[in-house]
Chain A
Amino acid sequence: MSVRTSGRRGYWLYLIPSLLLFLAVIVVPFLMNVGASFTRWSGVGTPRWIGLDNYTRLLADERFWESFQHNVGLIVAMAVVPTMIGLVLAAALFDYIGKRFGARTASALRAMYYLPQVLPVAVAGVVWGWMLHPSYGAVNQIFGLDLDWLGDPDLALATVMGVMVWFQLGYPVVIFMAGLQRVDPSYYEAAEIDGASWWAKFWHITIPQIRPEIFVVLLTCTIAALKVFGPIFVLTRGGPGNATMVPSYFSYLNFFQKSNVGYGSAIATVLALIIVVVTFLFLRVQERES
């Protein structure tokens, strides 16, 4: 017993560097942020303690709640839709393209889908900004349309969602294709002998077999959608009006534009808590499933 305890103590030593890093990079800044959220502070000078005032203000702030509604749309665009399309694409590349046209073709296509993930978000945003320009943008020119994609409040969020589907798609494709590598081919062979269709194999073998990957993709993409900032900053800056405002950009505006660090911290704290809760729920469901 004592040998086992001392052995465990030995292992704990290896955790110390990561624990220190975790404390310095995550815990301390988070606690400082929470502390700042209870103050009125411009970022310089002495913060003034105001208790829960920032949170009460937040609860009544229409702009904040509106920004969360936009986040729901972005979860659909960044997590749900790419996961669904990614599953079909990965299965098609693995089962059909790979077998029919060779592994190289499948890999090349996989790399192409993944390309947007490699591009810096600012570059991708600027290029999409050009393509969606109402006067000379390629999208309007190609389809003979006259739409103000990013400037019309009824269209802007849907347009950003479309761009985000393009941006995110490669990530699930790569993860799912990696997952498919570890599926036992005998399942597919057996199903084929039984005369199962492609769709039946996809539904009854592929999806259940790569469920852990699906969970990981959904979780990481949902978190990315909740804290999305770069694409909004480059494409719309939360506009037109507040049509594409999201909590992280709203927090940034308060921090850096209004020097309202206390309120910005409250928004960031609530956002962080929501992300933690969502992650926790996901992991619980995943545990139960497995």
Chain B
Amino acid sequence: MVRMRGVAVLAAAALALSACGSGGDSGTPSPAGTEPRVLKLWHYETADSAMGKAWAEAIKKFEASHPNVTVKFEEKGFEQIQKTASMVLNSDEAPDIMEYNKGNATAGLLSKQGLLTDLSEEAAKRGWDKLLPGGLQTTAKYDDRGVMGSGKWFGVPNYGEFVMVYYNKELFDKHKVAVPATFEEFTAALDTFVKAGVTPISNAGAEYPAQQIFYQLALTKAQKPWLEAFQSYKGKVDFHGPEFTYGADTFADWVKKGYLAKNSSGLKAEDMGVAFMNGKFPVMISGSWWYGRFASEIKDFEWGHFLFPGATMSPGSSGNIWVVPEKSENKDLAYDFIDITMSKEIQNLLGNSGGVPVAADPAAITDAKSKELIETFNKLTTADGLAFYPDWPAPGYYDVLVAGVQELINGSKTSAQVLDDLAKPYEDNLADLGN
């Protein structure tokens, strides 16, 4: 509320000052200047996603409160920003504010390279630190080595995401399967489908889905210290220890048992999602980023979701983060924009569009499906159950994991060999930390 009032005061000041024609080029930059300015903004959310809708509204709100500023928005692709960020941000073409992927190998790497602005002061001044629960702040802060969880604020997340089990209620009813509460019940349910000739889990090995299932299985045996060792390097990770061994063995076993299709190694995430939406699979284990799309596109059957049974942690984190490049020429405007994305109005819109807001007014979330999703997310964060993603610890680890799980699906390598392949680049990165 205080923040809202602040934005209103700034907007009023902008209007007043523009009316009397005073310049805003000295002292702290503010929206109050009369000189026309441009805020260059890049993000990669599709227009019909919850975030896409929310950010479009935030741009409108920003332009209304900053009459002398034009927002020059450029829609980029995730991969496009992912692959070229360090080079673009090191050039004169850098935007003023950009959405970026969070984690050590991405935002951490850019912060270490000195390409991102330290937002610590703004986070404290504008109260962002109060709005984000502890677990969500992990991906905002990076130390001098680019390792997340402590140090300075280099990004601001304003939504959350997590991996869950989506299920097709009609197929569950047809095969008389109840929503499982334990891991044993879950595998019993999967067995029921296999016996009926149905491959239960929609999967995709060529992109992130399969590696997240492998990681989720490892998490069923993991405790917090293991997670901190793996993700934040606070200890040694034994890739042949019980967690990863269980993950790899069980994943390979699930392929053998027919829970995961043998021909899923070359499939992409879109294949997985479309197959589930077409009602071909009763189960899909993936992230909340599908939620809004499912809500609007699945018309032929009822669907629901639950947290992976038998695990206290799930892959998940804050959503992507807003970063302000060090070379941004309009940092003050970028901070104002972030502030608007944190406002109740935008957060509520995000929540009602199938996203997971971090600072919404619970009473304002009126959409039943969205409410369910937010409740599950709150349950997970209350239990401190966000376990981040398996590809975060080392640059280029995503492709290493893709190759590893593809080999598990195809049976072309044993679990132990795959774990050796996963260990090497991780250890190489550890040896290189801080360099």
Residues of A whose CB lies within 8 Å of any CB of B are 40, 42-45, 133-135, 146, 148-153, 156, 236-242, 253-254, 256-260
Q: Is the CB of B396 within 8 A of A240?
A: no
Q: Is the CB of A257 within 8 A of B399?
A: yes
Residues of B within 8 A of A260 (CB): 395-396
Nearest Cβ in chain A — how far from B192, in angstroms? 22
Which secondary structure dominates where chain A touches chain B? loop
From B227-235, B258-266, B375-383, the one touching the partner chain is B258-266
Q: Is the CB of B410 within 8 A of A257?
A: no
Q: Is the CB of B267 within 8 A of A257?
A: no
Q: Is the CB of A256 within 8 A of B410?
A: no
Q: Is the CB of B206 within 8 A of A257?
A: no
B84 close to A (CB within 8 Å): yes
Q: 13 other contacts beyond A148-B262, A151-B206, A257-B399, with CB at 8 A cut-off?
A: A133-B271, A134-B261, A134-B266, A151-B264, A151-B410, A236-B266, A237-B399, A238-B403, A239-B205, A241-B412, A256-B84, A260-B395, A260-B396
Are A151 and B86 also in contact (CB < 8 A) when A135-B275, A254-B396 are? no
Are A240 and B410 also in contact (CB < 8 A) when A42-B109, A148-B262, A259-B109 are? yes
Residues of A within 8 A of B114 (CB): 44-45
B83 close to A (CB within 8 Å): yes
Q: List 12 A-B contacts (CB under 8 A).
A: A43-B87, A43-B90, A44-B113, A134-B267, A135-B263, A237-B206, A239-B266, A240-B406, A240-B412, A241-B406, A253-B396, A257-B396
Q: Is the CB of A242 within 8 A of B266?
A: no
Nearest Cβ in chain B — how far from A29, in angstroms? 14
Q: Which residue of A lies closest to B199 (CB)?
A: A135
Q: Is the CB of A44 within 8 A of B399?
A: no
Q: Which residue of A lies closest to B79 (CB)?
A: A256
- For the complex, give the distance between the alpha carbons of A257 and B406 in Å: 19
Q: Is the CB of B90 within 8 A of A241?
A: no
Residues of A within 8 A of B407 (CB): 153, 240-241
Which residues 399-416 in B have Cβ within 8 Å of A in the complex? 399, 402-403, 406-407, 409-410, 412-413
Q: Which 7 A-B pairs have the closest CB atoms?
A: A151-B266, A258-B396, A134-B263, A240-B406, A148-B263, A151-B265, A256-B83
- For the complex, give the distance between the alpha carbons of A135 and B205 in Å: 14
Q: Is the CB of B267 within 8 A of A238?
A: no
- For the complex, give the distance between the alpha carbons of A257 and B84 in Å: 9
Q: Is the CB of A44 within 8 A of B115?
A: yes
B239 close to A (CB within 8 Å): no
- For the complex, give the distance between the alpha carbons of A257 and B391 in Å: 11
Q: Is the CB of A152 within 8 A of B410?
A: yes
Are A153 and B395 also in contact (CB < 8 A) when A239-B402, A259-B86, A259-B109 are? no
Q: Is the CB of B113 within 8 A of A42?
A: yes
Residues of B within 8 A of A151 (CB): 205-206, 263-267, 406, 409-410
Residues of A within 8 A of B402 (CB): 237, 239
Residues of A within 8 A of B403 (CB): 238-242
Q: Is the CB of A241 within 8 A of B113?
A: no
Which residues 186-240 in B have Cβ within 8 Å of A in the complex? 205-206
Q: Which residue of B lies closest to A155 (CB)?
A: B266
- For the complex, give the distance between the alpha carbons of A219 and B391 in Å: 40
Residues of A within 8 A of B262 (CB): 148
Q: Is the CB of A153 within 8 A of B412?
A: yes
Residues of B within 8 A of A257 (CB): 83, 395-396, 398-399
Which of B86, B90, B406 is the most central at the interface, judged by chain A CB atoms within 10 Å of its CB?
A: B406
Nearest Cβ in chain B — how far from A15, in angstroms? 33
Nearest Cβ in chain B — how far from A250, in angstroms? 10
Residues of B within 8 A of A237 (CB): 206, 399, 402
- For the complex, give the distance between the alpha carbons of A135 and B395 in Å: 33
Nearest Cβ in chain A — how far from B150, in angstroms? 22
- For the complex, give the distance between the alpha carbons of A153 and B406 in Å: 9
- For the complex, give the distance between the alpha carbons of A127 and B90 in Å: 36
Q: Is the CB of A148 within 8 A of B266?
A: yes
- For the complex, give the distance between the alpha carbons of A40 and B431 in Å: 14
Q: Is the CB of B399 within 8 A of A238?
A: yes
Q: Which of A152, A156, A258 is close to B395, meaning CB atoms less than 8 Å apart?
A: A258
- For the complex, give the distance between the alpha carbons of A259 and B84 in Å: 10
Which of A149, A236, A241, A259 is the most central at the interface, judged by chain B CB atoms within 10 Å of its CB?
A: A241
Nearest Cβ in chain A — how far from B428, in angstroms? 10
Q: Which residue of A lies closest to B267 (CB)?
A: A151
Q: Is the CB of B266 within 8 A of A150?
A: yes
Residues of A within 8 A of B266 (CB): 134, 148-152, 156, 236, 239-240
Residues of A within 8 A of B280 (CB): 135
Nearest Cβ in chain A — how far from B69, in angstroms? 29
Q: Which residue of B lies closest to A156 (CB)?
A: B266
Nearest Cβ in chain B — how far from A155, in angstroms? 10
- For the complex, give the distance between the alpha carbons of A147 and B261 in Å: 12
Nearest Cβ in chain B — how far from A27, in angstroms? 22
- For the complex, give the distance between the alpha carbons of A43 and B403 in Å: 25
Residues of A within 8 A of B412 (CB): 153, 240-241
- For the complex, give the distance between the alpha carbons of A271 and B88 in Å: 26
- For the complex, give the distance between the alpha carbons of A258 and B106 in Å: 10
Q: Which of A40, A44, A240, A256 is close to B205, meaning CB atoms less than 8 Å apart?
A: A240
Q: Which residue of B lies closest to A151 (CB)?
A: B266
Nearest Cβ in chain B — how far from A116, in angstroms? 21
- For the complex, give the distance between the alpha carbons of A53 and B195 in Å: 55
Q: Is the CB of A253 within 8 A of B399?
A: yes
Q: Which residue of A lies closest to B112 (CB)?
A: A42
Residues of B within 8 A of A240 (CB): 205-206, 265-266, 403, 406-407, 409-410, 412
Q: Is the CB of A241 within 8 A of B413?
A: yes
Q: Which residue of A lies closest to B396 (CB)?
A: A258
Which residues 246-273 in B have Cβ within 8 Å of A in the complex? 261-267, 271
Q: Is the CB of B406 within 8 A of A239?
A: yes
- For the complex, give the distance between the alpha carbons of A242 and B404 in Å: 9
Q: Which residue of B lies closest to A44 (CB)?
A: B113
Nearest Cβ in chain B — how far from A213, in angstroms? 37
Nearest Cβ in chain B — how far from A279, in angstroms? 29
